[in-house]
Amino acid sequence: MTARQEDPESMTVANDTTVLVTGAGRGIGEAVATAFAAKSGRVIVTDIDPAGEAVAEAIGAAFVEADLSDMDAVRNLSSRVIADFGPIDILINNAGLQHVSAIDEFPDDMWSRIIQVMLTAPFQLMKAVLPGMKQQGWGRVVNIASVHGLIASPFKGAYIAAKHGLVGLTKTAALEVAAYGVTVNAICPGYVNTALVRNQIADLARIRGIPESEVVERVILEPAAVKRMVEPKEVARMALFLVGPDARSITGSMQVMDGGWTAR
What ranges in the chain are assigned the alpha helix state H? 27-39, 51-59, 71-85, 108-115, 121-136, 157-177, 195-198, 201-208, 215, 232-243
Strand partners, 92: 21, 142
Q: CA-to-CA distance for 205 and 207, rounded, in angstroms?
A: 6
Strand partners, 199: none
pLDDT at residue 1 tops 70: no
Using CA atoms, how far residue 45 sits from 26, 50, 220, 241, 253, in Å, is: 10, 11, 29, 20, 25
**13 near 19, Cβ under 8 Å?**
no
- Give catalytic status of residue 180 as yes or no: no
| Active-site hit among 36, 138, 155, 159 | 159
* Whole-number pLDDT of residue 76: 97
Task: State the DSSP code for 253.
Answer: -
Stretch (H or E) spanning 255: strand 254-257
Taking only the tens place, the pLDDT of each residue in 115-149 is 999 999 999 999 999 999 999 999 999 999 999 99
The chain-wide mean pLDDT, for the chain, equals 93
Per cent of the chain over pLDDT 90 is 86
Taking only the tens place, the pLDDT of each residue in 74-123 is 999 999 999 999 999 999 999 999 999 999 999 999 999 999 999 999 99
Q: pTM of the predicted model, to two decimals?
A: 0.92
* Whole-number pLDDT of residue 23: 98
Per cent of the chain over pLDDT 70 is 94
Buried b (16+ CB within 10 A) or exposed e, 153-168: eebbbbbbbbbbbbbe
- At 245, phi and psi to the nearest 5? -65, -25
Q: Quickly count helices (H) and strands (E) in the chain.
A: 10, 7
Strand partners, 256: 188
Taking only the tens place, the pLDDT of each residue in 177-215 is 999 999 999 999 999 999 888 888 988 888 899 999 999
pLDDT at residue 8 tops 80: no
Q: CA-to-CA distance for 216 and 220, rounded, in angstroms?
A: 5
